[in-house]
Amino acid sequence: REISNGKVKPEEDGDKYGDEDEKEDRAAQSLLNKLIRSNLVNTTNQVEVLQRDPNSPLYSVKSFEELRLRPPLLQGVYAMGFNRPSRIQENALPMMLAAPPQNLIAQSQSGTGKTAAFVLAMLTHVNPENKWTQCLCLSPTYELALQTGKVIEHMGQFYPEVKLAYAIRGSRRLERGQKVQEQIVIGTPGTLLDWCLKLKFIDPKKITVFVLDEADVMIATQGHQDQSIRIQRMLTKDCQMLLFSATFEDSVWSFAQRIIPDPNIIKLKREEETLDTIKQYYVQCSSKEEKFSALCNIYGAITIAQAMIFCHTRRTANWLAGQLTKEGHQVALLSGEMTVEQRAAVIQRFRQGKEKVLITTNVCSRGIDVTQVSVVINFDLPLDKDGNPDNETYLHRIGRTGRFGKRGLAVNMVDSKYSMDILLSIQDHFNKKIKKLDTDDIDEIE
Ligand code: ADP
């Protein structure tokens, strides 16, 4: 048995605890979110706006017409199916499009319209007559850069004079000293720094809009922070600087303040998750096999719409998927060995109801909402990488947001004193009773 932080961890399938968590990085999560997102995230929270000049009036727009966009851009916005600005766009767009343009730090969870907002700002500010790079957009990875590029192409579909180039490793064979002609360049910090500094494909003095996207993901990668700052230092003080982040921990905040001078700040709080509408149960078992038969009993007893089952390791998830399949259930499996694209496809199928059960490790529990799920089964309780109860993940797996959140059911499988202690600790933390469930007599569940 492995000991860390004075805690004894139970052996499980021979895999190391927290393995999946460690490997899953934020960039992959963020990409997955983009791949499966097809709509704005609904939020009822108020936007918090901090203006650089508190005496200047605060503009907010309720329609895209008010922004006086170039006709092909307005046409592009409508072609994307946008009817009105999202909550964050209502305030961010007038600030970004103001003359003279203003600097902005904006934070809101993924899916609230940040990308669409800065893409519109970039497209508005470039001058298509000038055949040189005017906008730089920094993304943490090539894949994320491509996603943003697609939005630029989509929104700019009626404005073909504006061209886009990707600055990614090995992407270009210009002669040293030659210049990129595309007005917008999007890429990763390392390559963009090379393009500006070493290869001189871009003249940083001619950049009028600088966007740093996914700041929280960016700073999670060693080196990206420094490279971004080095690029920013080459720009002129008239260049508009914009920074976006889905989260706002202290590290993001201090980075944002270093890189964006005199910013306006817009924040949109995440909708809080609650356990209020969730019935929570636990089942006492003594082994993995017993957990499985309890699961079958639960499954037989309730006419479940759709269920998600969380396992701690990839191995348990694979095993469970095999067992359920043998019993004749149609299951979908998400696991760490899949590419992000494969995972996105599995989630899409599940969302469309093609499978009723989705088995997963922690990798998909964070940041991804599968709101139609009414039953969540913790085949293993959530632990952090030190083997301590992970309350936040617990809440995120089974909690619901919004005041009108649907009712739900959560069942926790306990198979040792260790997991019972974890359960009790989670129960204490949320101060919400987790009732014992007898799976041989399951009637009480509904
Ligand atoms: P974020 O960058 O905050 O993750 P996005 O800009 O990618 O958010 O927007 C999330 C989703 O909502 C995308 O599918 C996007 O096309 C859509 N979207 C963005 N703005 C609007 C809007 N004003 N109206 C309708 N849909 C929008």
Number of C-alpha atoms within 13 angstroms, CB side, residue 388?
7
**Which among 22-31, 146-155, 275-284, 326-335 has the top mean pLDDT?**
146-155
Q: Are 45 and 268 spatial neighbours (Cβ–Cβ below 8 Å)? A: yes
Q: Are 90 and 60 spatial neighbours (Cβ–Cβ below 8 Å)? A: yes
Q: Is 85 in the pocket of ligand 1 (CB under 6 A)?
A: yes
Q: Is 116 in the pocket of ligand 1 (CB under 6 A)?
A: yes
* Higher local confidence (pLDDT), 350 or 96: 96
Averaged pLDDT for residues 145-152 = 96
* Higher local confidence (pLDDT), 152 or 16: 152
Confidence of residue 3 (pLDDT cuts 50, 70, 90): very low
Residue 320 has pLDDT above 50, yes or no: yes
Q: How many A from CA of 234 to the centre of ligand 1?
A: 31
Q: Which of 31, 40, 109 to mutate to test the pocket of ligand 1 (most atoms within 8 A of CB)?
A: 40
* Higher local confidence (pLDDT), 148 or 339: 148
Work out the angle at residue 113's Cα, subtended by the Cα atoms of residues 270 and 141, and round it to the nearest 5 degrees.
95
pLDDT, tens digit, 9 for 90 and up, residues 44-54: 888 999 988 87
Averaged pLDDT for residues 231-247 = 96
Confidence of residue 132 (pLDDT cuts 50, 70, 90): very high
Q: What residue spans of 245-363 are helical by DSSP H?
A: 250-259, 288-301, 314-326, 340-351
The candidate with the shortest Cα–Cα distance to 248, out of 239, 257, 240, 236, is 257
Q: Is 61 in the pocket of ligand 1 (CB under 6 A)?
A: no
Residue 14 has pLDDT above 90, yes or no: no
Q: What is the pLDDT of residue 43?
A: 81
Q: What is the pLDDT of residue 366?
A: 62
Q: How many A from CA of 245 to the centre of ligand 1?
A: 14
Which residue has the CA at smallest separation from atom 9 of ligand 1? 113
Q: What is the pLDDT of residue 38?
A: 76
Q: Is 40 in the pocket of ligand 1 (CB under 6 A)?
A: yes
Q: Is 114 in the pocket of ligand 1 (CB under 6 A)?
A: yes
Q: What is the CA radius of gyration of the chain?
A: 24
Relative to the CA of 37, which ligand 1 atom is closest? 14
* Residue 100, preceding peptide bond in cis (omega within 30° of 0): yes
* E strand or H helix at 377: strand 375-378
Which residue has the CA at smallest separation from atom 6 of ligand 1? 113
Q: Which of 29, 30, 37 to mutate to test the pocket of ligand 1 (most atoms within 8 A of CB)?
A: 37
Among the ranges given (91-100, 125-134, 324-333, 401-410), the one the predictor scored with the smallest mean pLDDT: 401-410
Q: Are 217 and 140 spatial neighbours (Cβ–Cβ below 8 Å)? A: yes
pTM: 0.86
Residue 209 has pLDDT above 50, yes or no: yes
Q: What is the pLDDT of residue 207?
A: 98
Which residue has the CA at smallest separation from atom 12 of ligand 1? 40
Residues composing the chain: 446
Averaged pLDDT for residues 224-233 = 96
Q: What is the pLDDT of residue 6?
A: 38
Q: What percent of the chain has pLDDT over 90?
A: 59
ipTM above 0.90, yes or no: yes
The candidate with the shortest Cα–Cα distance to 68, out of 106, 98, 112, is 98
Q: Is 319 in the pocket of ligand 1 (CB under 6 A)?
A: no
Q: Is 76 in the pocket of ligand 1 (CB under 6 A)?
A: no
Helix, coil or strand: residue 341:
helix
Q: Are 136 and 209 spatial neighbours (Cβ–Cβ below 8 Å)? A: yes
The burial class, CB within 10 Å (0-12 / 13-18 / 19+), for 334 is buried
Q: How many A from CA of 40 to the centre of ligand 1?
A: 5
- The rounded mean pLDDT for the chain is 87
Residue 329 has pLDDT above 90, yes or no: no
Residue 108 has pLDDT above 80, yes or no: yes
Q: For residue 127, how many other CB atoms are within 10 A of its CB?
A: 12
Q: How many A from CA of 269 to the centre of ligand 1?
A: 17
Residue 231 has pLDDT above 50, yes or no: yes
Q: What is the pLDDT of residue 363?
A: 66
Q: Is 89 in the pocket of ligand 1 (CB under 6 A)?
A: yes
Confidence of residue 444 (pLDDT cuts 50, 70, 90): low
Among the ranges given (57-61, 167-171, 310-314), the one the predictor scored with the smallest mean pLDDT: 167-171
Q: Are 280 and 435 spatial neighbours (Cβ–Cβ below 8 Å)? A: yes
CA-CA distance, 107 to 114, in Å (whole number)? 8
Q: Which of 66, 86, 369 to mutate to test the pocket of ligand 1 (most atoms within 8 A of CB)?
A: 86
Residue 13 has pLDDT above 60, yes or no: no
Q: How many A from CA of 402 to the centre of ligand 1?
A: 19
Q: What is the pLDDT of residue 124?
A: 97
Work out the angle at residue 39's Cα, subtended by the Cα atoms of residues 48 and 89, and round it to the nearest 5 degrees.
30
Q: How many A from CA of 255 to the centre of ligand 1?
A: 25
Q: Is 266 in the pocket of ligand 1 (CB under 6 A)?
A: no
Confidence of residue 19 (pLDDT cuts 50, 70, 90): very low
CA-CA distance, 320 to 314, in Å (whole number)? 10
Which residue has the CA at smallest separation from atom 22 of ligand 1? 82
Q: What is the pLDDT of residue 364?
A: 60
Confidence of residue 21 (pLDDT cuts 50, 70, 90): very low
Strands 400-401 and 273-274, bridge-based pairing: antiparallel
Residue 10 has pLDDT above 90, yes or no: no
* Higher local confidence (pLDDT), 440 or 142: 142
* E strand or H helix at 436: strand 435-436
Query: What residues are paired with 9 via a beta bridge?
Result: 2
pLDDT, tens digit, 9 for 90 and up, residues 370-389: 666 788 999 999 998 888 99
Residue the block writes with tokens 């491509």: 146
Residue 143 has pLDDT above 80, yes or no: yes
Write the DSSP assignment of 147-190 as a string of letters: HHHHHHHHHTTT-TTS-EEEE-TT---PPTT-----SEEEE-HH
Residue the block writes with tokens 């356990």: 275
Q: Are 389 and 381 spatial neighbours (Cβ–Cβ below 8 Å)? A: yes
Residue 59 has pLDDT above 70, yes or no: yes
CA-CA distance, 397 to 365, in Å (whole number)? 6
CA-CA distance, 358 to 114, in Å (whole number)? 30
Q: What is the pLDDT of residue 300?
A: 74
Q: What is the pLDDT of residue 52?
A: 86
Q: Is 112 in the pocket of ligand 1 (CB under 6 A)?
A: yes
Sign, CA torsion 159/215/134/66:
positive
Instruction: Report the phi/psi class of residue 14: left, alpha or beta, with left for phi > 0 and alpha for psi in -120 to 50.
Output: left
Q: How many A from CA of 19 to the centre of ligand 1?
A: 33
Q: What is the pLDDT of residue 307?
A: 87
Q: Is 315 in the pocket of ligand 1 (CB under 6 A)?
A: no
Q: How many A from CA of 113 to the centre of ligand 1?
A: 4
Among the ranges given (184-193, 216-225, 252-261, 419-428), the one the predictor scored with the smallest mean pLDDT: 216-225
Q: How many A from CA of 343 to the centre of ligand 1?
A: 21
Q: What is the pLDDT of residue 4?
A: 39
